[in-house]
Structure 1
Amino acid sequence: MLKRTYALRYVAGQLVKRIFPGAINQPLSPTAALPTVGTLRVMVWNIFKQQRADWLWGLKNYGKDAQLVLLQEAQTTPELVSFAIDNYLATDQVPAFVLPQHPSGVMTLAAAHPVYCCPLREREPLLRLAKSALITVYPLFNDQLLMVVNIHAVNFSLGVDVYSRQLWPIGEQIVNHQGPVIMAGDFNAWNRKRINALYEFASGMALREVNFIDDYRRKAFGRPLDFVFYRDLRVVKSSVLETSASDHNPLLVEFHRS
């Protein structure tokens, strides 16, 4: 049995909080919306547990001016937590598993407080370690609510049953959400069955894939691992930045409301 799933919330000047699935915050004023200034800038990056020496430099420079930063394999070291609370209003992380000192899992850094938070975990069937996902919802300046899904998909499994099972609870929430959606992360879609399952899921959720002209995404067996999908938004710009700061390259996408 998995331990009860929760997110850790980091906000400057406040104690770290545990947020359990389905947590809804009090209604926020319009001034609490994501400060998009017409364009929503998002960075998606598997940060490789901050094992490379220049990860912090990369985070500061690649994610500059991003209102949302979706990290996978983010380890809550003091340096990362300090960066998060110094530069973003709210940061939520779902501990997938606990390393000797710091939990590791998906982490979403946002320039606004979420009005809804749902952490999710799925255990790797072979390694018995867990992968995590995080659903957060943020107000936009036009009174819409943006759902953001940050996911690190299970990697080692026979067939796609567990892979698809990790997507099911996410799909239930996307279907019931009225408004734009961004779903992104490291999907570990390294074979035909996995990529087919992912595309079938995205199609069923009416999600479109962000394309990259110069596609430097990390690949395994010739297939990219990192993706960004969206709904009810318009892509203005997309790019993949080559870096040695992780074993994955960060994805940058700029959206306008559709």
Structure 2
Amino acid sequence: MLHVGQALPPGTPISTEATLRVLVWNIFKQQRADWMSVLQNFGKHAHLVLLQEAQTTPELIHFATSNYLAADQVPAFVLPQHPSGVMTLAAAHPVYCCPLREREPLLRLAKSALITAYPLPDDSMLMVVNIHAVNFSLGIDVYSKQLGPIGEQILHHQGPVIMAGDFNAWSRQRINALYRFAREMGLREVRFTDDHRRKAFGRPLDFVFYRDMNVSEASVLVTQASDHNPLLVEFQTTKPERL
């Protein structure tokens, strides 16, 4: 865990200003046209790009290495050609990296999560959780089990946190479990005024949660380049005043 000193030596801050731009997107294994233009238009100005269902195709690798200092992936499963899973692109090298996997109980496929940490200009450490939650399961035991190790790390982290991705929160049980988890972790939910997030059974699937920061802008980009719409959030990393 990050707090017990397994971190690498502190490096360059992920942002040199008090603004942090984050793009969150289930990229649908790059199966649709125009995914690259969406990434180029909206991703290249972001300090962090949190992708789910990212396949390590040559095109994506070229985009990542051309625009970002670091690209970390946790393959959930290996397709015939390229591994697919969550991928975090960052404008700075992480000083901590923890991959997590949870197997789907019905399909026996895995879903992945990745915890990384980056220095901020004020010498605090930003913890970033990129998650693709288990989708096909009866009840919420496996869903909650996947959140468990993530919660353990967030609870021990002193400093800002971003937890985002495709949470597959399509049932009342799941959304309740997710909100309960967020409350226990002291995380707030980013609200979108024009909410065009992908929904299933009337509930959004993609979320951004945060702690010890302020949200200055939040938008959902409507596109046909995936079966999910990307979320773009701009944070102010100066610590908010306690109410």
How far did residue 23 of structure 1 move?
9.9
User: Closer, same or farther in 2 for the Cα pair 1:223/1:139, shift >3 Å?
Assistant: same
CA contact (8 A) 1:36 1:67 kept: no
Matched, 1:253 2:233: yes
How far did residue 250 of structure 1 move?
0.3
Runs of 4+ deviating beyond 6 Å? none
The CA distance in 1 between the partners of 2:67 and 2:21, in whole Å, is: 15
CA contact (8 A) 2:8 2:96 kept: no
Equivalent residue for 2:217? 237
Q: Deviations over 1:197-218 (max 9, x none)?
A: 0000000000000000000000
Provide structure 1 residue ranges, at least 5 long, that are not aligned to the other structure: 1-21
Q: Which of 65, 71, 75 is the aligned partner of 1:85? A: 65
The CA distance in 1 between the partners of 2:185 and 2:63, in whole Å, is: 34
Q: Give the TM-score of the pair, scaled to structure 2.
A: 0.95
CA contact (8 A) 2:44 2:67 kept: no
Matched, 1:208 2:185: no
The CA distance in 1 between the partners of 2:198 and 2:97, in whole Å, is: 29
How far did residue 63 of structure 1 move?
1.4
Alignment RMSD:
1.2
Q: Which of 220, 224, 227 is the aligned partner of 2:207? A: 227
How far did residue 35 of structure 1 move?
2.0
Q: Which of 121, 146, 151 is the aligned partner of 2:131? A: 151
The CA distance in 1 between the partners of 2:5 and 2:93, in whole Å, is: 12
Q: Which moved more, 1:223-232 or 1:51-60?
A: 51-60
What's the secondary structure of 2:146's corresponding residue?
A: helix
CA contact (8 A) 1:23 1:116 kept: no
What's the secondary structure of 1:62's corresponding residue?
A: helix
Question: What letter corresponds to residue 140 of structure 2 in structure 1?
Answer: V
How far did residue 64 of structure 1 move?
3.0
Question: What letter corresponds to residue 95 of structure 2 in structure 1?
Answer: V
The size of the alignment, in residue pairs, is 235
Provide structure 2 residue ranges, at least 5 long, that are not aligned to the other structure: none
Q: Which of 14, 26, 33 is the aligned partner of 1:46? A: 26
Q: Deviations over 1:92-134 (max 9, x none)?
A: 0000000000000000000000000000000000000000000
